[in-house]
Each structure stands twice: as C-alpha cells, then as structure tokens.
Amino acid sequence: MPTLNNQFKNVLVMRLSVLGNVAMTIPVLYPLCKANPGTRFIMLTKKWPASMFHDRPANLKVVDFDVKGNHSGLFKLLKLAAQLYRLYDIDAVADLHNVSGTWIIDAYMRLRGARVARLDREMTVRRALISHRSTRPVTPIHERYRNVFRQLGFEAPDDFSRLYDGRDWPVSPIVLDKEPGQRWIAISPFSSHEHKTYPLELMEQVIAALSQRENYWIFLMGGGKAEKIALRTIARKYKRVISMAEVKHTFIDEYALFGKCDLMLTMESANMHLASLVNLPAMTVWGPTSPACGYMGYNQLVEDDIQLDMPCRPCSITGDKDCKFGDYRCLRNISPDFIVQHVVDVVEHNALHGTRATRLGQQRQHDKLSDNTQQ
C-alpha cells in the first residue's frame, strides 16, 4: 500500500549529467512517486534528457536546465535556485549528482529552510576498486539513488517493471511491423567515451554475421555526424540492417522500437539504460569498466554480458582514461565470433523458453545474499 510522507510536499530532484545517468533515475523515481502520492517531485535535468521522461506519474514534474547557457555560472545558478524555490515552494532536495553545480543550489535551498540529501559517490570504494587494492564493488547507482530518498524519510521501493507497464506500447510511424519468427536486434556500437567502445571494424564483423541469418533484422543506433556516416556505410553493405541514425526520431520512437526488439547489443552507454526502461535484455560489452563499477543496467543480467577476466580490469569507473598498454586489449581481444554466438544463444534461448524473468529473480536473490555477506 502507498505510504504518505507528510513532512515534505515539494522535493527538488537533481541529476544534471549525461543521458545514461539521467535514464537511471527513472526506475527509482517512478516507483518512488507512486509510493508517495502526497508529495510532488520536481526533476531538474538538462534539456535533452528531460525529453525521455514519458509515461511518468502525475506527481512528477520535469524541468529542463540549460547547463551551458542561461543557467551556467555561480550567479545564474543562484538565480535558477531562487526561481525553483519561488515556483515550486521547495522544502527538500534530493541531490542525485553531488557536484559543485548542484552544491550551489543545495546551499541556497538550505538557507531557505529546505532539507538536503546527497548521493554517496563512494569515492574511497571506487579508488580502491580501480587501483585493485580491493575487489569490493561500488554499490549499484540505482540503490544509491534510492538511499538519497530514504535519507529524507521516503519509501523508495525497488519494483520498477517498465514504461507503459500494463498498457500498449506507443505507436511510431517509423517502426515497422514485426512478422512472426523474426528476431530484432538493436545494436549500439558507440559510447560517450571512445576508450570503452568495441572497435568498429570488429563490430562490423558481428553485424555482417548476424545479417546472414534471414530472420534477423539489425537496427543500428547512434547520433552525431560521424556516427551517422559510419552507420550509413555499414547499413548499405548488408541486408536487413537499418541505421536509425538516418531517421529523425524521438524517444517515443525508440521506446516503440525497443519494445519489439529481442535484444540490445551495446557498449556501456545510455542505450543500455534505455533498454532497461522497456525491459529489453541488454548484452553489454565491457572493457575498461565493469559491472562492479556500479553502472549496470537496471534488471539486466551479468551472465548475458561480454567481458574478459583480466588483472587490469577495471581500470576506470567511467571509461575516460587511456589504456596503460595503449592497445585496449580488454576490448580488442574479444572475438567477433564469440559475440555473435553469444547473441544468438541468448536470443534463441529467450525466444524458446522465455525464462529471463526466472534468471533475473535468481540473480537479484544472489545479489542480496552477497550484499548481506559483505555487511
């Protein structure tokens, strides 16, 4: 049963970073809002990520933030904080970012009497992990998000299923009808950091092999001029390979497409998290980072992922560091044939047996037992 927190009525929530980090707030925010209907939550984020918040609860307001324009700089951030306080009567702040920009807004709200709770970035755990002084994993980001709201006294259930749960998927004019027996694979070969991107020439071999299966359709995901050109070149070479970068589309279109797909093959990137929003299995290729860094997609299965057991991994939490060997062997040593076989095995197994929910339940039970053991 929903519980009411009568202490706070208008809670400012902040995550101002890249698309993937904002996408990870949705599996936390939506159940939170439903469990606390007497509170209004105001989500502050950048303009592009703000457009992904579809099918949201009635008590969730999304406000976009021009991080490089009208709202950059100390005085502009203070002005923004004053506007937010005046418009929404903020009495609590859930800072899911915990960086200098949000500290300014935190400080203003504290001066006006609001209570502030901040994300634990677990910097000590992170440093120990990537320096290999410890194997203790960073607490998953979704759990750290929930802990911020728990600091404020809210119930924060961990029961997100998917967007449009219990309702029809959104209809998109650019998404084809899927015929019986077809397997649809979304492939997102890029990442915000090139250091954690599987070499494109090797990923093309994966795409070429999968396209030889007549019932497999491949949808290439990407954005930006360089990515668009690269994906166009690949798509023109192979049958049943479509570059979505060629088609102007919105998040609604992506949700409609992902809702019909059987698998997302991706780097550790925003698309891993977008897949989670529609309960699409995501097979992630991990290189310098790893699931232990805390950014695993919500409800995704580690056993579906692809990564090499190497003593130098992980060497980075976000994948923004150069390889100390200079060759990114953690990615280049992954065989395209291995990826192809793993994709086919998972897709066909899920199609025939539909046991992903059972496997997910087993993994979550294992994770809870591991957490209890560490505590």
Write out pLDDT tens, residues 76-103.
899 999 999 999 999 999 999 999 999 9
Q: Is residue 177 scored above 70 in pLDDT? A: yes
Predicted local confidence at residue 2, as pLDDT: 42
State how far the Cα of 322 lies from the Cα of 238, in Å rounded to an integer.
33
State how far the Cα of 183 lies from the Cα of 288, in Å rounded to an integer.
30
State the DSSP H helix or E strand holding residue 118, giving kind and residue range, or none if neither.
Answer: strand 115-118
**What average pLDDT does range 278-295 have in this prediction?**
97
Q: Are residues 209 and 347 in the same domain?
A: yes
Q: Are residues 145 and 194 in the same domain?
A: no
Predicted local confidence at residue 3, as pLDDT: 43
Write out pLDDT tens, residues 43-54.
999 999 999 999
State how far the Cα of 239 lies from the Cα of 365, in Å rounded to an integer.
42
CB 238 within 8 A of CB 203: no
State how far the Cα of 128 lies from the Cα of 195, in Å rounded to an integer.
21
CB 65 within 8 A of CB 49: no
What percentage of the chain carries pLDDT values higher than 90? Answer: 83
Q: Are residues 132 and 193 in the same domain?
A: no
Write out pLDDT tens, residues 229-244.
999 999 999 999 999 9
Residue 220 falls within a domain, yes or no?
yes
Buried b (16+ CB within 10 A) or exposed e, 317-344: bbbeeebeeeebebbeebebeebbebbb
Number of domains in the chain: 2
Predicted local confidence at residue 369, as pLDDT: 54
Q: What is the mean pLDDT of the chain?
A: 92
State how far the Cα of 226 lies from the Cα of 232, in Å rounded to an integer.
10
| Collapsed DSSP state (helix, strand, coil) of residue 66 | coil
Q: How confident is the model at residue 1 (pLDDT cuts 50, 70, 90)?
A: very low
Residue 174 falls within a domain, yes or no?
no
Q: Is residue 367 scored above 80 in pLDDT? A: no
The structure tokens 């959104």 sit at 170
Write out pLDDT tens, residues 10-34.
999 999 988 999 999 999 999 999 9
Q: Is residue 357 scored above 70 in pLDDT? A: no
- What letter does residue 354 receive in the DSSP assignment? -
The structure tokens 């053991």 sit at 373
CB 62 within 8 A of CB 30: no
Q: Are residues 190 and 331 in the same domain?
A: yes
Predicted local confidence at residue 365, as pLDDT: 59
Residue in 96, 120, 113 with CA at minimum distance from that of residue 12 = 96
Predicted local confidence at residue 269, as pLDDT: 93
CA distances from 200 to 12, 82, 134, 294 (A): 41, 47, 33, 26
Predicted local confidence at residue 371, as pLDDT: 55
| Collapsed DSSP state (helix, strand, coil) of residue 271 | helix
Q: Are residues 258 and 355 in the same domain?
A: yes
Write out pLDDT tens, residues 249-265.
999 999 999 999 999 99
Q: Are residues 249 and 143 in the same domain?
A: no
Q: Are residues 248 and 309 in the same domain?
A: yes
Residue 3 falls within a domain, yes or no?
no
Q: Is residue 245 scored above 60 in pLDDT? A: yes
Task: Please state the pTM of the whole predicted model.
Answer: 0.92
Q: Is residue 113 scored above 80 in pLDDT? A: yes
**Domain hosting residue 120, numbered range:** 10-151
Residue in 167, 170, 129 with CA at minimum distance from that of residue 254 = 170
Residue in 278, 279, 284, 280 with CA at minimum distance from that of residue 265 = 284
Q: Is residue 322 scored above 50 in pLDDT? A: yes
**What average pLDDT does range 104-118 have in this prediction?**
97
- Torsion (CA) 245, 247, 251, 253 in degrees, nearest 10: -130
Q: Are residues 145 and 204 in the same domain?
A: no
Q: Are residues 58 and 101 in the same domain?
A: yes
> What sign has the CA pseudo-torsion 224, 229, 234, 239?
positive
Residue 170 falls within a domain, yes or no?
no
CATH code of the domain containing 44: 3.40.50.2000
The structure tokens 């990442």 sit at 191
CA 314 from chain centre, in angstroms, equals 19
Q: Are residues 321 and 253 in the same domain?
A: yes
